[in-house]
């Protein structure tokens, strides 16, 4: 067997940043983790850059002003881009509420010809508030928290997302399958 027979070619070698944007509780982390955990992807280099985890590390000290949110998105975007240009599929479940910051990410990826997909994980705010996984919506209602995206802080809707996953209408498995198909269509999976 020649050495080249061991070298994997094709989609498995192409990196990309897949940014999952949407309200808290929309299902971004759930979908990213489910995709990354697919047994079929065994061997694929894949990283989930989750906003919650990175706010404790990479973005420790940043708050929730527009400036700090933009800085958080820019830092995570940089890490994603570095991974993606080295063949990793970077799945990024991070709210990224401001359109300009998301467009900046797209431009930075385009400048290096690194694939970038904006995936809008969509669910009505009422559905997210009903799920209230972290208790944020209840805390906002009770006046213990302010600046909650989509409630008393802006969420600027994606104008031309590469994909929309409506989690109020699709089960997790359906969203994951849809995302996987969209990546496969683009030769990224």
Which residues contact ligand ATP by CB under 6 A?
A: 22, 24-30, 51-52, 93, 95, 131, 133-134, 167, 170-172, 175
Which one of Mg ion, ligand ATP, none interacts with residue 171, CB within 5 to 8 A by kind?
ligand ATP
Q: Which of 29, 72, 140, 167 binds Mg ion (CB under 5 A)?
A: 29
Residue 77 binding target from Mg ion, ligand ATP, none, CB below 5 to 8 Å by type = none
Contact indicator for 60, 42 with CB cutoff of 8 Å: no
Q: Which residue is nearest to ligand ATP (CB)?
A: 27
* Cβ neighbourhood burial of 43 (10 Å; 0-12, 13-18, 19+): exposed
Structure tokens at 26: 């929309």
Beta bridge partners of 19: 92, 118
Comparing CB distances to Mg ion, the nearer of 32 and 117 is 32
> With binding defined as CB under 5 A, does residue 21 bind Mg ion?
no
Distance CA 20, CA 120 (A): 6
Minimum Å distance from CB 33 to ligand ATP?
Answer: 8
Cβ atoms of residues 153 and 64 within 8 Å = yes
Number of residues that bind Mg ion (CB under 5 A): 3
């Amino acid at each position: 067997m020649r050495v080249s027979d061991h070298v994997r070619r094709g989609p498995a070698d192409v990196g990309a940043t897949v940014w999952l944007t949407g309200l808290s509780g929309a299902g971004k982390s759930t979908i990213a983790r489910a995709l990354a955990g697919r047994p079929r992807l065994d061997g694929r280099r894949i990283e989930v850059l989750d906003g919650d985890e990175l706010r404790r590390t990479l973005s420790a000290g940043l708050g929730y002003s527009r400036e700090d949110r933009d800085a958080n998105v820019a830092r995570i975007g940089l890490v994603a881009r570095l991974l993606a240009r080295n063949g990793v599929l970077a799945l990024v479940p991070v709210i990224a509420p401001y359109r300009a910051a998301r467009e900046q990410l797209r431009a930075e990826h385009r400048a290096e010809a690194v694939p970038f997909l904006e995936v809008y994980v969509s669910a009505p705010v009422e559905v997210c508030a009903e799920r209230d996984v972290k208790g944020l919506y209840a805390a906002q209602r009770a006046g213990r928290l302010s600046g909650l995206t989509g409630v008393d802080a802006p969420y600027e809707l994606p104008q031309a997302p590469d994909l929309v996953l409506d989690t109020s209408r699709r089960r997790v498995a359906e969203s994951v399958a849809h995302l996987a198909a969209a990546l496969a269509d683009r030769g990224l999976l």
